[in-house]
Amino acid sequence: MLQPRRDRRDAAASEPGVDLDAARAHLTRVFGFADFRPGQEAVIAAVLAGRDVLTVMPTGSGKSLCFQLPALLRPGPTVVVSPLIALMRDQVRQLAAFGVAAATLNSANDWRENAEIGDRLRAGALDLLYVAPERLVRPETIDRLLDAGVSLLAIDEAHCVSQWGHDFRPEYLGLGEVRRALGGVQTIALTATADPPTRTDILARLFEEEPAVFVSSFDRPNLYLAMRPKASATRQLTDFLADRRGQSGIVYAASRKRTEQLAEAFRTAGHKALAYHAGLAPEVRADAQDRFLAEDGMVMAATVAFGMGIDKPDVRFVAHADLPASIEAYYQEIGRAGRDGLPADTLTLYGLDDMRLRRRQIDDGDAPAARKRVEHQRLTALLALAEAPHCRRQTLLAYFGEPPREPCGHCDLCRDGVDAYDGTIVAQKAMSAALRTGQRFATEHLVAILTGQRTERVVSYGHHDLPTFGVGADRTPSDWRGVFRQLYAAGLLDMDLMGYGRWSVTEAGRRVLRGQDTVALRAERPAAPASAKRRKATASEAPNAPDALRAPGDAALLTRLKAERLSLAKAAGVPAYVVFPDRTLIEMALAKPRTEADLAALHGVGEAKLARYGAAFLAVIAEIVAENDATGGVGPKAP
């Protein structure tokens, strides 16, 4: 285990406390936020105290602020490592809109732009510099940063450094050496998706001593979680989109051809839809991404080549036409919805063909055998989520190691329920097989025992002589695999992810074995699209949803505010949400501010945005209020 270093950082961290008054003042003045989001304050305090930090926070929880805000409160630039140029440029544009001195040094810039950034860096005129990992490792870049007195290294998407992470990137492997070359510069590593093995790998590869580790809840309460057996994916998805017309969303598919087919089907159904995959020409991909970022109501049918570089806050849904690659991939992909904290929907379709495809992709890949083994275990965990017999959110959070909680009431299983039967005896048979074999074996061996298969391995261990041999011969091996996944989802069995998928019985499972508790298992029913009423009741009932617009005039005002936002964004050459996100416009439509002071009190309106855009939006609001007064409150006509 890494040992903490006793130096100036630990001394700072041991002070009675870090004064966060200046941080809060900048939070409001620059970013227009009234207070920290859950988890941010502790991380920012640790950074301001000089500690190295690893933080795991869900997408949409404000990870970036954990290094952006400290960068404004200390001398020397903060260097941010990010894997994608598009993501870096997007964050720089958003920071510039808040009046923050930020730039990105990358290969897509021309030499003049990079030279100008170098001049600003030498002059001490940058608060944040975003750099791709392959550029950061160059000796000339390190020399530049040493001369500039870099004060903080922020490693975004830190799971990319881990061979156990779902998105491993070899170029991240040199970041530990970069950190040492920069004199052991204070470092914060951030990720939204890192299970315990991945976190351990991140710590070993990036830090010589133990950093402060913060793991926030993985829960995204604003996301409605739904998974359905696949019947006709195109029909199911067009039904899903029918009640989300005019909303921005992403539909992931497993193949390039499928994305194009889906995009065409969505356009035929009257949606603005584009396809995105790695086989398209670079300029076509760039144009599609720019349109998705800039336009409201755009649906992107995409492979997983699309997404990590997308920081669009108002994505209102993410759907999967095919089963994702792993539970981490699923979590990261649905996390692209609802980043603004407003309600958003998810839907994942899955079928037997998907399961076979994902297993074949793992088996045919070039990864080492140990990584393939772990990927198979992760796929099993995802299937357990798909086949969960109760609250889907409970199953998802349990995978990431969070303690049990009450059913969420905001997933398809909590809303609709499932057809279930008393599976106590079935569960006892499965868990008995695990216990009688010393809790040392994975699924296929236990299934062979239960179904009475005298495989070479079963016989070699003498397991054909166990009392449990053949007690489940009335079920198929496929049925038993599903039982194991459900018992895992229910918390009765635990799987050793790093240990060949060995099953062990939890205390909850032992209570079922002793007859103290019973267990219900789900019986699959034919797939059917949700009713229109059910579909409409998902996102709108999310926890922490904003108040509904209260009057016809409010909705019309929101439309006018969005039109003004789009006009200003086009003039500035930035995505609309860089001007103001939807959440801010909704608050404007509800509060109808009359003065700059009123407007400044709203979420996301900092000093720079107030100065740049305040007059334009106040003029729209005043005009609409006047029209309302003139029409007796009926409301203005939408443009």
List pLDDT tens digits, range 60-113.
788 999 999 999 998 899 999 988 777 888 889 999 999 999 999 877 788 888
Q: In the chain, what is the straight-line distance between the N-terminal and C-terminal CA atoms, in Å?
A: 63
List pLDDT tens digits, range 254-278.
999 999 999 999 999 999 999 999 8
pLDDT of 501 > 90? The answer is: no
Tell me how far apart the alpha carbons of residues 411 and 409 are, in angstroms, rounded to a whole number. Answer: 6
Strand partners, 290: none
CB 586 within 8 A of CB 621: no
Domains of the chain: 8-215 (3.40.50.300), 223-416 (3.40.50.300), 420-522 (1.10.10.10), 552-630 (1.10.150.80)
- Residue 428 tokens read as 């006892």
Strand partners, 213: 54
List pLDDT tens digits, range 197-252.
788 889 999 998 999 999 988 899 999 999 998 888 999 999 999 989 989 999 99
Q: In 40-174, which ranges are continuous DSSP H helix?
A: 40-48, 65-71, 85-97, 111-122, 133-136, 139-148
Tell which residue, 565, 530, 630, 2, has the closest CA to residue 296.
565
Amino acid at site 162: S
- What pTM was computed for the model? 0.75
- Residue 241 tokens read as 């989109």
pLDDT of 531 > 90? The answer is: no
Tell which residue, 238, 228, 235, has the closest CA to residue 412.
228
Degrees, nearest 5: CA angle 84-66-328: 55
CB 441 within 8 A of CB 434: yes
Q: What length does the chain have?
A: 639
